Structure 1
Amino acid sequence: MKEYIILDNKKKIIFLDRDGVINIDKHYLYKIEEFEFTQNLFKTCKYFISLGYEIIVITNQSGIARKYYNEDDFKKLTSWMINEFKQNDINILDLFYCPHSPNDNCSCRKPKPGMILQANHKYNIDLENSWLIGDKTSDIEAGINAGIQNTILIASEYSTETDEINTQHIIHNIIETKNIIKN
């Protein structure tokens, strides 16, 4: 009788928030000419990929609901951003966004886990061995609410080390994740 080995094809993911993690947060950013990548981002993402992780971006974009910009503006910037990653030999597996305002009571706006759950449904993710990196407590809460226990908060104007943040790690620059994420 033959024995079959069942391979676990779940993906290990690094979930990245956009504003404040991928780029310098400039409040309702939608213009390419105002977009600035954070220091050491590309180097760090290449490190994640070398460890076997794939990258998914999850981002609240209430500027759409608030009519500061429209979805076409957001998609144009997103396409440009993903191309910049490609130019640096980094593949972004996917990007999920919430276009709703905080008052819309949707299931996708962080701290609700909707975007992560959508990603998990689409890609069969190993949430237990994936990571979420954000700069707001709502990012961390979204990860935890989706079943991701491995979370890293990049300290920002939206968080202080005295906040009651249920995260494993607080850092100041994304490059510091190399001291935390090892496999």
Structure 2
Amino acid sequence: MNSAVFLDRDGVINEVLTNRVKFVNQPKDFYFLPGVPEAIKQLNRYFDFIFVVTNQGGVGLGFMKESQLIQIHEHMVKELAKFGAIIHDVAFCPHKPKAGCECRKPGSKMLIDLSRKYHVNLENSYMVGDTDTDIQAGKKAGTKTFFLGENDPLADAVFPDLLSASQWIIQDVQAHLK
């Protein structure tokens, strides 16, 4: 079975609610957070797959069309590839925040669907997010969970950014290989 790292998008990979950008509704609004391409490139060396799993209620609320969201994700993947960093697949929930769908985090459907599609062992995988719903989704799916920010009591570990989290994840993987 394969291993994977599941990454939330907004606040983990790219800026959101910053001085430069409020929401990412088109590719020109997409700015990587510091160290993200390097972190993903490092994770690519140790994991079979790197996935993005993201709630994108702006589609359901009418702020953008699903085709625009797909263009943003294509832009993200293409820009990361310039650094040698690979995202293997992107799953998103386009529904309104209170639609009650199964795919929206804290539900684990996006992670489970990707794990089935790519034959991923969730127990040997990691979920990295910046909200409690990301951590809950990872826990429900059976991954180890890493919170980016100040504190999350449910998370297995807390880090300030993806680069520092990725370094710890790699050390954890190496420890289990010995």
TM-score of the alignment, normalized to the shorter chain, above 0.5: yes
5 Å-filtered alignment, 1:31-50, equals 31-50=26-45
Name the SS for the 1:37 alignment partner: coil
Task: Say if 2:86 is the partner of 1:97.
Answer: no
Distance across 1 between alignment mates of 2:53 and 2:113: 10
Give the letter for the 1:166 counterpart: L
Q: Following TM superposition, by how much is the alpha carbon of 1:89 offset from its aligned partner in structure 2, in angstroms?
A: 1.4
Distance across 2 between alignment mates of 1:151 and 1:117: 15
Gapped regions of structure 2 (runs ≥ 5): 174-178
5 Å-filtered alignment, 1:157-168, equals 160-161=150-151, 165-168=153-156
Question: Equivalent pairs: percent with the same residue?
Answer: 31
Q: 1:78-97, CA deviations, whole angstroms, 9 ceiling, x for partnerless residues? A: 11111111111122110000
Distance across 2 between alignment mates of 1:168 and 1:137: 12
Deviation larger for 133-142 or 41-50: 41-50
The answer to whether the Cα contact below 8 Å between 2:41 and 2:86 also exists between their aligned partners in 1 is no
Distance across 1 between alignment mates of 2:136 and 2:47: 25
Gapped regions of structure 1 (runs ≥ 5): 1-9
Aligned to 1:172: 160
Aligned to 2:147: 153
Q: 1:11-42, CA deviations, whole angstroms, 9 ceiling, x for partnerless residues? A: 11010000000101235412222211010011
Greater than 3 Å deviation, 4+ residue runs? none
Distance 1:80 1:180, change over 3 A: closer
Residue from 167, 170, 175 that aligns with 1:181? 170
TM-score of the superposed pair, with normalisation by structure 1? 0.86
Which of the pair is proportionally richer in helix? 2
Q: 1:47-71, CA deviations, whole angstroms, 9 ceiling, x for partnerless residues? A: 1112234200000000001001111
How many residues end up aligned between the 2 structures?
Answer: 167
The answer to whether the Cα contact below 8 Å between 1:22 and 1:41 also exists between their aligned partners in 2 is yes
User: Which structure's CA Rg is the greater one?
Assistant: 1
Q: Following TM superposition, by how much is the alpha carbon of 1:131 offset from its aligned partner in structure 2, in angstroms?
A: 0.5
Distance across 2 between alignment mates of 1:86 and 1:142: 27
Aligned to 2:77: 82
Aligned to 1:117: 112
